[in-house]
Copies of this chain bind each other. A is one copy, B any other.
Amino acid sequence: WIGDASGGFLRLIDQTRLPTECVEIDCLDSAAVWNAIKRLSVRGAPAIGVAAAYGAVIGARARGTDDPKAIRTALKEASAYLRTSRPTAVNLFWALDRMEAAADDPGRAPGSPLLERLLAEAEAIAAEDRAMCRAIGRHGAELLVPGDGVLTHCNAGGLATSDYGTALAVIFSAHEQGKSVHVFADETRPLLQGARLTAWELQNRGVPVTLICDNMAAQVMKERKIQKVVVGADRIAANGDTANKIGTYGVALLARAHGIPFYVAAPSSTFDLSLADGSGIPIEERDPLEITHGFGRRTAPEGVAVYNPAFDVTPAELITGIITERGVVQPVDAETIRSLIGDSNATR
């Protein structure tokens, strides 16, 4: 966030251009934030939540007045609009719920103008996100031992959060503690977040990483190069069923077949306790062109039918533990989740 509540704006790295180009996008209205989320310029459940919170601040200014009533109306409109950007990651809805609640509650900055209170709430969401990353890193690093090979899928790193990630926080934290770990990064078709973003982040921080295609994970497991799997999450139901990037469910089945522990790393804001299990999680289907023209040129025959679900749901029974900022949910079941996370989604 650059500037103050009344004139500031949101500056994002355009993740679709990494790692070959590092281009920033300045979002001056809520449509720009909506587009950045929709187009995956900003992605990763926690980062989407933070971006949406700032987007709500920008949207709340849309009527160009200081009148609190007009600001509240504009905020509600912007929030409703931003909610339509992507369906699966619950952090989007969680953050916008918080922003709407903050508009009616002077708690965080009593006496301040409403816009400043809204910006303060968005800043608080971002700050909590940074603290969350560090706490997840600490809890998760305890699960790794020196020499571990760790497989991860998609990108749950610094680019997906306000600090250094969820799944990757576990790895970065272990690395900082001097535990030598070697990461295998699934490239993660169709949009190659693993190749473009995860490999890049790990390389930048000096963590040894080997890039593989998604379909090589089973072979690498068979060769006993993987001791742990750690992935992020986009939405976790009350029983622990976890939506994450397409391919995660397959990785979990392969880990089970090889006797490899499978961990999910996610903040409490990624839990959706309103859903009893994963069957209620909406799964986004994305443009077939991501598969047929994903690299700037056509790689499939014209007119071919394509199925492109962006997420899948891994059932709780395949998950060894869920690493949250409050500790590790283990075993993964409704009772353990309720006792650790139970009150976190109070605004929903």
Chain A residues in the interface with B (C-beta under 8 A): 19-20, 153, 184, 186-190, 192, 195-196, 199-200, 203, 208-220, 222, 246-247, 249-251, 253-254, 256-257, 291-292, 294-301, 303-309, 312
Q: Are B312 and A222 in contact (CB under 8 A)?
A: yes
CB-based contact A212/B307 at 8 Å:
yes
Q: Which residues of B contact A222 (CB under 8 A)?
A: 249, 312
A262 to chain B, nearest CB (A): 13
A sample of 24 cross-chain residue pairs with beta-carbon separation below 8 angstroms, ordered by A number, consists of A20-B298, A184-B307, A187-B291, A189-B215, A192-B299, A195-B299, A195-B300, A196-B300, A199-B300, A199-B304, A203-B301, A211-B304, A213-B246, A214-B215, A214-B247, A215-B250, A216-B307, A216-B309, A218-B250, A218-B253, A219-B250, A219-B309, A250-B250, A295-B299
Beyond A187-B299, A216-B307, 7 additional contacts (C-beta under 8 Å) are A189-B214, A189-B215, A209-B304, A215-B246, A220-B307, A250-B254, A295-B296
**A210–B306 touching, CB < 8 Å:** yes
Using Cβ atoms and an 8 Å threshold, which residues of chain B touch A189?
187, 189, 213-215
Distance in Å from the Cβ of A18 to the closest Cβ of chain B? Answer: 9
Q: What residue in chain B is nearest A311 (Cβ atoms)?
A: B219
Minimum CB–CB distance from A309 to chain B (whole Å) comes to 6
Q: Which of A20, A216, A256, A298 has its CB near the most chain B CB atoms (within 10 A)?
A: A216
A102 → chain B, closest Cβ, in Å?
A: 37
- Greatest chain B CB density within 10 A among A203, A210, A215 is at A215
A131 to B207, alpha carbons, bound, how many Å?
A: 53
Residues of B within 8 A of A20 (CB): 297-298
Residues of B within 8 A of A195 (CB): 291-292, 299-300, 304
CB distance B301 to A199 under 8 Å?
yes
Evaluate contact between B295 and A297: CB separation under 8 angstroms. Answer: yes
Closest to A315 in B: B222
Interface pair A301/B213, CB less than 8 Å apart: no
- Residues of B near A251 (CB, < 8 A) are 215
Q: How far is the CA of A187 from the CA of B291 in the complex (A)?
A: 9
A189–B184 Cα distance when bound, in Å, is 16
> A246–B214 Cα gap in the complex (Å)?
10
Contact of A301 among B190, B200, B215 (CB under 8 A): B200
Q: Pick from B186, B192, B246, B305: contact of A211, CB below 8 A.
A: B305
CB neighbours (8 Å) of A300 from chain B are 19, 187, 192, 195-196, 199-200, 211
CB distance from A191 to the nearest CB of B (A): 10
Residue numbers in B under 8 Å from A298 (CB-CB): 20
Residues of B within 8 A of A294 (CB): 295
- Knowing A199-B300, A203-B304, A301-B19, say if A218 contacts B249 (CB, 8 Å): yes
Shortest CB distance A297–B (Å): 6
**Cβ-defined contact, A217 with B295, below 8 A:** no
**Nearest CB in chain B: distance from A42 CB, A:** 20
- Report A211 CB to chain B, min CB distance, Å: 5
Tell me, in angstroms, the Cα distance from A20 to B153 when the chains sit together: 31
* Cα–Cα, bound, A117→B87 (Å): 67
> Out of B212, B220, B307, which one reaches A306, CB within 8 Å?
B212
Residue of B nearest to A290 (CB): B213
A92 to B41, CA, bound (A): 47
